Amino acid sequence: MSKLCECGCGNLAPLAKWTDKRLGHIKGMPVRFIKGHNSRVSPHGSPGEKNPNWHVDHIKPQSLFNFESPEDVEFKQCWALENLQPMSAKENRKKSNKYRSEI
Ligand SMILES: [Zn+2]
């Protein structure tokens, strides 16, 4: 079982090595935040808004997939962890500009 860090950075949260009620960790379960990441989270807004400088990037761009509903195989491939990577907003802009110029 794996889960992404709730700060929205797109990194995989590690499994808790012990139960810590204060931090909300349960032994063997993914922690909510990668160590140090919870301090970056403001109490307001959704995860995406908490880290405006970090985007989740599709390694293979979403536009190359063909899907109409979340049940489609291609939708699952598009959003599979293997196809996602954290990327700074700057890099993401660079990348999307590159794709635009290639079209
Ligand atoms: Zn994080």
d(CA 14, CA 33): 8
Cβ contact 92:63 at 8 Å? no
Cα of 50 to ligand 1 centre, how many Å?
Answer: 10
- 66-93 pLDDT per residue, tens: 999 989 999 999 999 889 888 777 777 7
Structure tokens at 47: 């995860």
Cα of 9 to ligand 1 centre, how many Å?
Answer: 4
pTM listed for this prediction: 0.38
- 31-63 pLDDT per residue, tens: 988 888 876 555 554 554 555 667 778 888 888
Among 53, 36, 38, CA closest to 89:
53
Which pLDDT value is given to residue 45? 46
